[in-house]
Amino acid sequence: MNNKYQGSAGKSGRSERNGGGYSNSGGNNSDRPRRPLASYRVHQIQLVLGEMLRWEHPADAVLSHWLRANPALGGRDRAELAEGVYDVLRNLRRYRQLAESGVGPAERRLAILGLAATRGVEYVNDALDPGEAAWLARVDQVDPASLPANVRYSLPDWLAERLSVLPQAESLMGALNQAAQLDARANPLKIERDALLEVLRAGPAGRYDPQPMPYSPWGIRFKGHPSINRWPEFEKGEVEVQDEGSQLLALLVGPRRSEMIIDFCAGAGGKTLLLGALMRSTGRLYALDVSAARLARAKPRFARSGLSNVVPVVIDSENDARVKRLAGKAQRVLVDAPCSGFGTLRRNPDLKWRQNPQSLAEMVALQHRILKSAARCVAPGGRLVYATCSLLPEENAQQADRFLAENPGFERLDAAALLHNRCDKLQLEGPYVQLRPDLHGTDGFFAAVFERKKASRAAETVAEPVLAEPETVSDAEPEEPAA
């Protein structure tokens, strides 16, 4: 994949970007005073969709690349462009059906529908000729409730079929088709949430109405999509973007000071950051991933957060020799596995169009291999947490049940009860945790917790590093575990 298009996909992608700009081919800027702003906006959305709908790259990567190449617009215009594009991605199947009765380029009709949904029909009418305006007036009268569920919620048939068997399926489908608010959290290594909220409300962030999350003790939710990376609190490492469901995984891992912990699929380091902070930057925290680029993006985050106990390690696969050296060493192992990412459709609506049953089957097979390999790293009496940002049983409960059946050396803990003990507001039925956007206001997340049975002769965990290759670790050596 071309680096300029690297973005979120499956597990790794979990964010929507706001931004915008005029394309070099988007029209002569000298004509701007004689053309309504809506005309420019329709044209810009049309251009971006023309690139996105090839499905060659993640949507957020395509949008970011386009915006960097066209930096002329301000923040408000950027937001309008991004909202229009993502509205089309969310409602693509329904919009395509409505667009069949129109004329002109398909991407233009989709752009008109997206802009009408986000800015209003009257606004977009300024950009339309009489024929287009008449068409928009007709399709605007179509009641979405009259359409089949797979069209109404814009899902491919195969995915709609899988979601339809879940409890309260239509409620879930509807929630997945809505835009998510921005979730963030305080860095407990640097600041308490209440103190951070006070600072945020007194500054520019106050316009986004920051509120404490209902479940996570560190979480803060904002209305809209602010540019949080421009805030001084972000630059100081006091606040990080992270969905509430993802934050709650740290409670299931339950990290303690001076332990050896492995984040087996660390990605860009979001969960690693919180685990390291809860360890108070003591012990040793290995951040493993097959992508050197993702771990490289994580390093500045580790430095900004104040952590010194993280050891990033690039592995070539789940069977890398570096993984084998960690066998039986870790008190806690988190496997936030690569997955379909369908629990994040509010933020990454392109995922439903960029995957198919075959890619899902391949992902399920990879998850099984990763979980099997990661389990070998768990010390006797240690904890293994398996998690996905999916809602599909084959990636979640079925995967966990299979692991338990094939690994008699592990026993299953009641993950829902463990989470309730740390967050009594969250009512879930065990033994697994399944969070949903319609029920909990989070992305879709699944988690299972296992404990390795203690051997007759307890294994000792070595204190010195077991991975020390200079090319695979961070520039700064981690601190020695506290006594």
Q: Is the pLDDT of residue 473 over 60?
A: no
Closest C-alpha among 435, 344, 364 to residue 10: 344
Catalytic residue, from 265, 339, 389, 423: name it: 389
Q: Which of 61-65, 68-72, 321-325 has the lowest mean pLDDT?
A: 68-72
Looking at the structure, tell me whether residues 183 and 302 fall in a common domain: no
Q: Is the pLDDT of residue 60 over 50?
A: yes
pLDDT band for position 466 (50/70/90)? Answer: low
- Please tell me the distance from the alpha carbon of residue 253 to that of residue 276, in angstroms, as a whole number: 12
Give me the number of domains the chain comprises. Answer: 3
pLDDT at 468: 47
Question: What does the block give as tokens for 394?
Answer: 């084959």
Identify the CATH number of the domain in which residue 124 sits: 1.10.940
- Residues 105-132: tens digit of each pLDDT: 999 999 999 999 999 999 999 999 999 9
pLDDT at 17: 33
Looking at the structure, tell me whether residues 194 and 294 fall in a common domain: no
Q: Is the pLDDT of residue 208 over 80?
A: yes
pLDDT at 455: 72
pLDDT band for position 96 (50/70/90)? Answer: very high
Residue 31 lies in a domain: no
Residue 142 lies in a domain: yes
Looking at the structure, tell me whether residues 276 and 421 fall in a common domain: yes
Pairing of strands 219-222, 211-212: antiparallel
- Residues 249-277: tens digit of each pLDDT: 999 999 999 999 999 999 999 999 999 99
Q: Is the pLDDT of residue 476 over 60?
A: no
Residue 460 lies in a domain: no
pLDDT at 427: 85
Looking at the structure, tell me whether residues 224 and 259 fall in a common domain: no
Question: What does the block give as tokens for 249?
Answer: 């995984």
| 130 phi-psi bin (left φ>0, alpha ψ -120 to 50, beta other) | alpha
Cβ proximity of 186 and 278 under 8 Å = no
Q: Is the pLDDT of residue 98 over 80?
A: yes
pLDDT at 78: 85
pLDDT at 35: 53
Annotated binding site for S-adenosyl-L-methionine: 289, 316, 336
Looking at the structure, tell me whether residues 248 and 234 fall in a common domain: no
Looking at the structure, tell me whether residues 442 and 302 fall in a common domain: yes
Looking at the structure, tell me whether residues 72 and 137 fall in a common domain: yes
pLDDT at 422: 85
Report how far Cα 188 is from the mean position of its chain's Cα atoms. 21
pLDDT at 424: 84
pLDDT at 479: 37
Mean pLDDT computed over 127-139: 95
> 384, exposed or middle or buried, with CB in 10 Å at 0-12, 13-18, 19+?
buried
pLDDT band for position 34 (50/70/90)? Answer: very low
Pairing of strands 445-452, 378-388: antiparallel
Residue 475 lies in a domain: no
Identify the CATH number of the domain in which residue 427 sits: 3.40.50.150
Looking at the structure, tell me whether residues 61 and 102 fall in a common domain: yes
Mean pLDDT computed over 293-319: 94
Residue 274 lies in a domain: yes
Backbone torsions φ then ψ of 141, nearest 5 degrees:
-90, -5
Closest C-alpha among 178, 150, 147 to residue 163: 150
Backbone torsions φ then ψ of 348, nearest 5 degrees:
-130, 70
Domain closes at, from 127, 147, 167: 147
Residue 429 lies in a domain: yes
- Please tell me the distance from the alpha carbon of residue 263 to that of residue 272, in angstroms, as a whole number: 6
Looking at the structure, tell me whether residues 234 and 259 fall in a common domain: no
Residue 442 lies in a domain: yes
> What is the extent of the structural domain holding 286?
243-452
* Mean pLDDT value across the chain: 88
Looking at the structure, tell me whether residues 257 and 321 fall in a common domain: yes
pLDDT at 8: 41
pLDDT at 111: 98
Identify the CATH number of the domain in which residue 186 sits: 3.30.70.1170
Mean pLDDT computed over 145-174: 97
Q: Is the pLDDT of residue 2 over 50?
A: no
Q: What Å distances lie between residue 268 and 273, 288, 292, CA to CA?
A: 10, 10, 10
Backbone torsions φ then ψ of 109, nearest 5 degrees:
-65, -40
Q: Higher confidence at residue 479 or residue 429?
A: 429
Looking at the structure, tell me whether residues 249 and 230 fall in a common domain: no
pLDDT at 28: 39
**389 flagged as catalytic:** yes
Percent of residues, the chain, with pLDDT higher than 70:
87
Residue 279 lies in a domain: yes
Looking at the structure, tell me whether residues 216 and 232 fall in a common domain: yes
